[in-house]
Structure 1
Amino acid sequence: MVDIEESADRVAVIGTGAIGGAVVRRLRAAGRDVTVWNRRSSRTAEMVELGAVPAASLGEATSASALILLTVTDHAAVRQCLDSVGEDLSGRTVVAMCTGTPGDARSTATRVAGLGGQYLDAGLQASPDMIGAGAATILYSGSPTAFEQHRATLGLVGAARFVGETPDAAAVWDLALFGVWYDAQLGLLRALDVVREAGIDVVEFSDTATSQLGHVVAGVPATVSELRGATYPPGPANLVEHHTVLRQILELRAGLRLGDGGLPEVVARIEALIAAGRHGEGLTATIG
């Protein structure tokens, strides 16, 4: 293995697909020394033209660098890479730059620690185009020491935000953010499906849907304040009133292609709160 002092300024990018390629371009544009390796060596040709050094093996790539970015498909591929390395990673930081579950992050962190390295999990709220344009924000969690050591390099790839010392914090944050988008988008699709089936003009409806989504966005600070303070004022409606409307929405959504959005569980939770004498509280009480 190359001495760690000799590899301190070099970055290894493992996987040169869309994300990996964008990462290499950003690093090379900033003048960083980059070693690349891909299972199919033909995919590193463009990176080599940009000045990256091709590694003959995965082990050669990881031994040549203090910072190892695994820009692969998923954590299964990450594990395969780590199994293939199978050598001491002391003094090196491994970053898994792929979407995964909190369990994936914890498992990978344990594996890296077993090899003597430091681990950072990365949550990619960004597309290859956003990385290439310098408009990406990337979430990191794990070793704060490793993050501070490599902050400048990670910042070249995109705005680097450290979100927690537990290895799974970035994965939780990342998937929760994706969940916000999916919940909103699928809610919109259910609404469009309902009004279309009823013969209502979806364009006219969309104007009012945009306004409704705006209320959710505008209400975020108040909702967070309620949650942090463990106080749940009724706001526009109390739980009894919410219960009535939600049961009506359930009837409206019966038989929808996209289902009911999990509303039966929400209704059951509200009914339990009402039974406990908390009928005067607002909707945030459901997670309080």
Structure 2
Amino acid sequence: MVDINRAASRIAVIGTGAIGRAVVHRLLGAGRDVAVWNRTESRAADLVTAGARRARSVREAVSSSTLILLTLTDYPAVEQCLAQLDTDLSGRTIVGMYTGTAGEARLAARRVTSLGAQYLDAGIQASPETIGTDAATILYSGSRHAFEQHTATLELLSRPRFVGESPEAAAVWDLALFGVWYDAQLGLLRALDAARAAGIDVTEFARTAGSQLGHVVTAVSATVSELHQAAYPPGPANLTEHLTVVRHLIDLRAGRPLGDGGLPEVAARLDALIAAGRGGEGLTATVG
């Protein structure tokens, strides 16, 4: 077993894809002692030339370091690496830097903590070229102690943000933000598709669509306030009026290539709320 005090400044990066390589270069540039491991050994050769230590196995990389960054593509790759660890990892922190689900974050945390180590899950809101700049944000969740212990190192990579002590918080935050973009972008594409099919000038239509999207952005603070207060004023329309529009949209989108965007489920929720005597409330009530 490696002396933890002697290994305190050592970092291991497991996985040398685009993000992993950017992380290694940034850490080396800051004078950190970095071990690297990649399943295809030749892909880490230039990093070793740049000053990284080559680890011959995941076990060797982990045992020689106290901060281990799993910069891998997905949870199955993380799971394969964690399965190779079967010794006491007390005093170490393992960070899962991959895009995964809440359930996967919980599984990774369970495996890591069962070996005595601390676990952080990471949501990477950055591209490889932004690693180490203020344009990069990386979300972390799990062990607050581990985050505080390694903040100085994490700050070399991005603006680190601790978002919760549940292991899955960073994954949920990250995926929910992706969802905001997908919902908005696909909603715009559905609207442009419907307008084009009706012979409408999509350039002219897009100008009004931009204004409509702006209303959503402007109302973010008010929507959050409604959720906090559990009060749902109707705003521009109440649930009964919204239901009429939603049903029209379901009809408009029928048979279109991007589908209806889940509006039948929304209509069912509106129906249930109206039946419960809440038809005069606003749209935020659907998740209240």
1:49 CA displacement? 2.8
1:92 CA displacement: 0.4
Paired residue for 1:211? 211
Specify the alignment match of 1:225 in structure 2. Answer: 225
Instruction: Give me the TM-score of the superposition, normalised by structure 2.
Output: 0.97
Match status 1:46 vs 2:46 = yes
Alignment of 1:263-274 (within 5 A): 263-274=263-274
Task: Label 1:134 to 1:38 Cα distance change in 2 as closer, same or farther (>3 A).
Answer: farther
Q: Do 1:16 and 1:71's aligned partners in 2 also have CA atoms closer than 8 Å?
A: yes
Q: Which amino acid aligns with 1:273?
A: L
Counterparts of 1:88 and 1:80 in 2: how far apart (Å)?
A: 18
Amino acid of the residue matched to residue 38 of structure 1? N
Q: The residue matched to 2:59 in structure 1 has which SS?
A: helix
Q: Which residue of 1 aligns with 2:256?
A: 256
Give the C-alpha shift of residue 46 in structure 1: 2.3
- Aligned to 1:84, what secondary structure does the other structure show? coil
Q: Return the offset for 1:94.
A: 0.4
Match of 1:162, SS? strand
Aligned position for 1:246: 246
Contact 2:11 2:67 in 1 (8 A): yes
Alpha-carbon distance, 1:133 to partner: 4.2
Name the structure 1 match of 2:279: 279
**Could you tell me whether the CA contact under 8 Å between 2:38 and 2:44 is conserved in 1?**
yes
Alignment-derived partner of residue 85 in structure 2: 85
Instruction: Read off the aligned partner of 2:128 and give its amino acid letter.
Output: P
Superposition deviation, residue 50 in structure 1: 2.3
Could you tell me which residue of structure 2 aligns to residue 237 of structure 1? Answer: 237
Query: For each residue in 1:26-71, what CA deviation from the matched residue of structure 2 results, as whole angstroms up to 9, or x when unmatched?
Result: 1112221111111111111221232111112221111111000000
8 Å Cα contact 1:25-1:132 kept in structure 2: no
1:112-163: CA deviation from partner (whole Å, max 9, x where unpaired): 1111111000011222122254521111111111111001101111111111
d(CA) in 2 for partners of 1:243, 1:39: 53
Q: Match for residue 22 of structure 2?
A: 22
Match of 2:129 in 1: 129
Alignment RMSD (CA, Å): 1.1
Asked if structure 2 preserves the Cα contact closer than 8 Å seen for 1:59 and 1:85, the reply is: yes
Contiguous gaps of at least 5 residues in structure 1: none
* Cα displacement string for residues 198-221 of structure 1 (whole angstroms, at most 9, x for unaligned residues): 121222211111111111111000
**Percent same amino acid among aligned pairs?**
70
TM-score, normalised on structure 1?
0.97
User: Is the 2:102–2:171 contact (alpha carbons within 8 Å) kept by the matching residues of 1?
Assistant: yes
Give the Cα separation in 2 of the matches to 1:87 and 1:134: 37
Answer whether contact 2:141 2:162 (CA < 8 A) is retained: yes
Match of 2:13 in 1: 13
Structure 2 Cα separation of the partners of residues 20 and 35 of structure 1: 12
The correspondence of residues 165-176 of structure 1 with structure 2, limited to 5 A, is 165-176=165-176
